[in-house]
A and B are shown apart, each in its own frame.
Chain A
Amino acid sequence: TQLLEQSPQFLSIQEGENLTVYCNSSSVFSSLQWYRQEPGEGPVLLVTVVTGGEVKKLKRLTFQFGDARKDSSLHITAAQPGDTGLYLCAGARAIQGAQKLVFGQGTRLTINP
């Protein structure tokens, strides 16, 4: 069974602080996706990482894929209230063809003004 564990599950910080959330597994994934999900809505794709050690930046968000492709992190610099939400990581095992994504349980982030 492939599992993705996210930590922390809940994080509440003040506006302007930096934070990192983690997504860990004992399994190797061919790619890893980060999504953001608002209550009652579908996950919205933020980024995909496919190469071990890969780093991608999206404004104040930095995503990294572990060298062994078993883990990933999301770092937010100078967090803003608009960053509040549920962040999900999801991994794919196959290289091509239809993919089954395995999701973590999410990190619920609250940024207080």
Chain B
Amino acid sequence: EPEVTQTPSHQVTQMGQEVILRCVPISNHLYFYWYRQILGQKVEFLVSFYNNEISEKSEIFDDQFSVERPDGSNFTLKIRSTKLEDSAMYFCASSELGRTYEQYFGPGTRLTVT
């Protein structure tokens, strides 16, 4: 069964460093999303992406964050200058045209900022 994959599974970085989290969405999906989950808290929406553009972003998704679809398969989240409070699980999700509410999540990248 097709699935969303994410790399790396765990990333440790120092405060102020740039990180890029990578995702390969399900191949026939056209809508892509990033969510994050701080330990013990709710899953929170960060950004949605369609047709090479951001569709919607949350207040969390400030100028330090960016997303890109550099080729036909990858979808990336970049954090330019990480802060301690960016430590969280980051989930990529994708959905197909016509059923965009059915989002399939990847296994996540655990980001630890020290």
Contacts and interface: CB of A to CB of B under 8 A. Distances in A.
B44 A33 contact: no
A43 B101 contact: no
Contact of B91 (A42, A94, A104): A42
Given A98-B56, A100-B56, A90 B100 contact: no
The secondary structure that dominates the B interface is strand
Contact of B95 (A40, A90, A99, A106): A99
Contacts of B110: 40
Contact of A90 (B43, B104, B107): B43
Interface string B48-90: 1110000110100000000000000000000000000000010
Interface string A101-113: 1111110000000
Interface residues of A, number: 27
Interface of B: 4, 31, 33, 35, 41-45, 48-50, 55-56, 58, 89, 91, 95, 98-108, 110
Given A88-B43, A99-B101, 8 more contacts: A40-B89, A48-B102, A92-B100, A94-B100, A96-B100, A101-B35, A101-B103, A103-B43
15 contacts: A31-B101, A40-B108, A42-B4, A42-B105, A42-B106, A43-B105, A45-B105, A48-B101, A96-B100, A99-B100, A101-B35, A101-B43, A101-B103, A103-B42, A106-B42
